Amino acid sequence: MQKAARELAKLAGWRRVPGPHIWPIVGNPAALRAPGDLIGFGEGYWHRYGDIFRVSLFNRSIVVLAHPNAIKYVLCTARENYIRGSVYASTRRLIGDSVLTLEGEAGRARRELQQTAFHRGSVEKLVTQMVASGARHCDALAGRAREGVVAIDAHREMARLTLEVFVRALFGQALQGDFGALTDVMEVVSDGANRFMLPPWVPTPRNWRWQQAIASLDAHLYGLIELARKQGSDDSLLSMLIAARDAQGAPLEDRAVRDEVITLFIAGHETMALTLTWLFALVGRHRDVLPRMQREVDHVVGRRDPRFSDFAELQYVRQVIDETLRLRPPVPMVARDVVDHDAIHGYEVYAGEIAIPFIWATHRHPDFWADPLQFDPDRFEGQRATRHSSWSYVPFSAGPRACLGDMFSLVQTVLLLAQLLQRFELQIEDCADVKPVMMLSASPRPSRPFRIELRPRRSG
Ligand code: HEM
């Protein structure tokens, strides 16, 4: 069967995927460095072997794809053959069966059920809540300013800020007195989910803390679900999930609501915190960008609270976010199990391999981007209509399994930036040396903490 398939492949002119020599048992020894620097590892091979290459990591054969056409093929055209299988096993242990981990018909049905919660109209309803939480956090920061200045650790503070805003958008009125205890435990879970961890049965202190946090999170979540069912609908994501019905008119059971809530949190929190963190790191090196953003915020929003309609008007702020997501995509690669022997972009791949759309590389591919390594928000000017159709720019992935929270996170990021820029002059520490570091299963974090000084602006 295998032989026949290969004969067929030869006749069809399928080519062999290039890559370093793979030795029996050890694979390619250079790959042992990969877990400490996945991006650098991938980029090195991309420059050497081109837009598709094969490596072996932890005894798995991996085909990495940097060309937009190959990415489109795997994530859209032939998606039934490229599934979120074994590589999502550890995620499944935490989040169970959710829109992120379900495949086939079950995955489609779950996604359909949730789509209304993420429509433009639903996101608009969340804005009042988001802006109120953002204002609370920014005002507390202003209160901390001694002698007129408060210095923050950029990543840590953005993680707290997005946590506060996100948790309130998720749970709305059901939250009440739970806020502090819940955010503490969610911080531990988010951190664990975004780090490389040994399997849960290995008795390390971090594993133990994480398991405790999940148990405590579950207790909180089931309590909140019960309360939200009793209280009836508000504009939170939780109540939208509870109100959602499948094609047969059936609601989600508590366990499924729990799985979806954790999924939204894990998918959304760290990604949004890192978008803001990297934006500041990049902007800090381009001194003209921040004043331009601030002028736009002053012109569009002034000193009032931002509202949903400002999102469309804050075009330059949005361009800066788009450019940040191009150069520092919080999800720089996604992974799929290859189900059946196939060819991607004319190159032969085998059942059981892992295909990795390497978003990071596509976003800096010289065939698709002029001066690709240059941070230049103006490259997105006037490209609103085309920006999401091109497979060379896929920070939220694309196609039928693209990010559900893209609109939510863009609106939230734009409005949070407006709130910060309204209130503070920002002095960002020189961070030319800050590099993105990505351990296995994590998003790229800054190689060292960097500070931002916030000086409250005078009103009037
Ligand atoms: C800048 C922020 C974000 C980025 C860059 C991002 C990126 C992505 C990417 C690349 C995927 C596809 C993963 C894959 O195919 O394996 C994804 C999926 C997903 N994201 Fe996001 N995300 C962000 C924020 C959010 C937020 C805030 C939420 C929730 C409120 C969210 C919810 C989801 C969900 C539910 C999925 C799974 C969709 C499905 O499989 O049908 N994301 N995200």
Mean pLDDT of the chain: 87
Least reliable range by pLDDT among 9-13, 252-256, 359-363: 9-13
> What does pTM read for this prediction?
0.92
> What's the confidence (pLDDT) of residue 38?
83
The alpha-carbon radius of gyration of the chain (Å, integer) is: 23
Name which residue sits closest to atom 16 of ligand 1, judged by CA.
334
Q: How far, in Å, from the CA of 293 to the mean position of ligand 1?
A: 26
Is 416 touching ligand 1 by the criterion CB < 6 Å?
no
Residue 386 has pLDDT above 60, yes or no: no
Structure tokens at 187: 């911080």
Write down the residue that tokens 């919080």 correspond to. Answer: 330
Q: Give me the pLDDT at residue 22, please.
A: 81
326 lines ligand 1 (CB under 6 A): no
- For residue 180, give both structure tokens: 């502090």
Q: Is the CB of 99 under 6 A from ligand 1?
A: yes
Residues 410-457: tens digit of each pLDDT: 999 999 999 999 999 999 999 899 999 886 556 888 999 999 999 998
334 lines ligand 1 (CB under 6 A): yes
pLDDT tens for 169-210 read 888 877 766 677 777 777 777 777 666 555 556 667 777 877
pLDDT tens digits, 154-177: 999 999 999 889 888 888 877 766
> Minimal CA–CA distance to 356: which of 86, 62, 18?
62
pLDDT value of residue 173: 73
Q: What are the chain's domains?
A: 1-96+332-362 (3.30.43.20), 97-331+363-456 (1.10.630.10)
Residue in the block written with tokens 């599934």: 83
In sequence order, which ranges of 194-253 are alpha helices (DSSP H)? 205-231, 237-243
User: What does the pLDDT read at residue 203?
Assistant: 65
CB-facing half-sphere around the CA of 191: CA atoms within 13 A? 16
Integer Cα distance of 207 and 444 in angstroms: 21
The pLDDT assigned to 217 comes to 86
